[in-house]
Structure 1
Amino acid sequence: MNQAISITMLDGVINRTIETVETSKSQIFEIAENARQEGNSLKFDLHELRQEIAKVISKVDELELSYRRARARLVLVSRNFNTYTEEDIRIAYEEANRIQVELSIYRERENNLKKRRNDLERQLRTLEETIERAEQLVTQMGVVLGYLTGDLSKVGAVLEEAKKHQLMGLQIIQAQEEERKRVAREIHDGPAQSMANVVLRSEIVDKMLRNDRILEAQMELHELKEMVRLSLADVRRIIFDLRPMALDDLGLVPTLQKYIQTYEDRTKISVDLVVFGVEQPLQSSVKAALFRLVQECLNNVEKHAGASNVQVKLEFLEEMLRLVVKDDGVGFDKEKQISKGSSFGLLGMRERSQLLEGTMELQTSPGEGTRVMFQIPVKF
Structure 2
Amino acid sequence: MFDMKKLENVIANTIEAVERGKEDLFRLETDVRNEYDRCLRQLLDIKIRIDRVIGEVDRLEDESRKLRNQLMVVNRDFNRYSKEAIKETYDAAHEKMMELMQKRETEKILRLQRDHLAQNLRTLENAKKRSEDLISSISMALKLLTHDLTGYFNQLGEVQHTNNVGLSIIKAQEEERRRVARDIHDGPAQSFANIVMRAEFCLKLMDVNPDQVRDELQDLMWLVRGSLEDVRKIIFDLRPMSLDDLGLLAAVKRYTEQYMEDYKIHVELNVMGREQRVDNSLEIALFRIIQESLTNARKHSGAPEVVITIEYHKDRINLMVRDNGRGFDMAKVRQEKQGVSFGLTGMGERVHLLKGKFDVRSAPGKGTQVLVSIPLEEEKQSK
Range class of TM-score, shorter chain: 0.7 to 0.9
Q: 2:22 aligns with which of 21, 25, 28?
A: 25
Kindly indicate whether the alpha-carbon contact (under 8 Å) linking 1:7 and 1:155 is maintained by their aligned counterparts in 2.
Answer: no
Matched residue SS, 2:373 = strand
Measured after TM superposition, the shift of residue 192 of structure 1 is 1.0
Matched residue SS, 2:276 = coil
Mapping 1:149-298, distance limit 5 Å: 149-157=146-154, 160-164=157-161, 170=167, 173-207=170-204, 211=207, 217=213, 220-298=216-294
Q: Which residue of 1 aligns with 2:357?
A: 359
Q: Which residue of 1 aligns with 2:348?
A: 350
Q: Which residue of 2 aligns with 1:82?
A: 79
Q: Which residue of 2 aligns with 1:326?
A: 322
What letter matches 1:18 in structure 2?
I
Note the residue ranges of structure 1 that are not aligned, 5 or more in a row.
none
TM-aligned CA distance change 1:123 to 1:269, over 3 Å: closer
Measured after TM superposition, the shift of residue 160 of structure 1 is 4.6
What letter matches 2:90 in structure 1?
Y
Kindly indicate whether the alpha-carbon contact (under 8 Å) linking 2:152 and 2:158 is maintained by their aligned counterparts in 1.
Answer: no
Kindly indicate whether the alpha-carbon contact (under 8 Å) linking 2:327 and 2:367 is maintained by their aligned counterparts in 1.
Answer: yes
Q: Deviations over 1:218-245 (max 9, x none)?
A: 6544543433232121111111111212
Matched residue SS, 1:228 = helix
* 2: CA distance, partners of 1:225 / 1:158: 60
Measured after TM superposition, the shift of residue 250 of structure 1 is 1.3
Measured after TM superposition, the shift of residue 93 of structure 1 is 0.3
- Report how many aligned residue pairs link the two structures: 376
Kindly indicate whether the alpha-carbon contact (under 8 Å) linking 1:139 and 1:178 is maintained by their aligned counterparts in 2.
Answer: no
RMSD of aligned alpha carbons: 3.0
Q: Which residue of 2 aligns with 1:341?
A: 337
TM-aligned CA distance change 1:171 to 1:287, over 3 Å: same
Identity among equivalent pairs (%): 42
* 2: CA distance, partners of 1:322 / 1:234: 33
Kindly indicate whether the alpha-carbon contact (under 8 Å) linking 1:306 and 1:329 is maintained by their aligned counterparts in 2.
Answer: yes
Instruction: Point out the more displaced range, 90-99 or 314-323.
Output: 314-323
Kindly indicate whether the alpha-carbon contact (under 8 Å) linking 2:52 and 2:208 is maintained by their aligned counterparts in 1.
Answer: no
TM-score, structure 1 as length reference: 0.86
1:35 aligns with 2:32: yes
1:146 aligns with 2:143: yes
What letter matches 1:299 in structure 2?
T
TM-score, structure 2 as length reference: 0.86
Kindly indicate whether the alpha-carbon contact (under 8 Å) linking 2:355 and 2:375 is maintained by their aligned counterparts in 1.
Answer: yes
* 2: CA distance, partners of 1:356 / 1:70: 89
Q: 1:111 aligns with which of 108, 111, 114?
A: 108
Matched residue SS, 2:57 = helix
* 2: CA distance, partners of 1:158 / 1:149: 18
Q: Which residue of 2 aligns with 1:96?
A: 93
* 2: CA distance, partners of 1:259 / 1:129: 32
Instruction: Point out the more displaced range, 97-106 or 351-360.
Output: 351-360
Note the residue ranges of structure 2 that are not aligned, 5 or more in a row.
none
TM-aligned CA distance change 1:9 to 1:355, over 3 Å: farther
* 1: CA distance, partners of 2:137 / 2:12: 18
* 1: CA distance, partners of 2:359 / 2:135: 36
Instruction: Point out the more displaced range, 348-357 or 169-178.
Output: 169-178
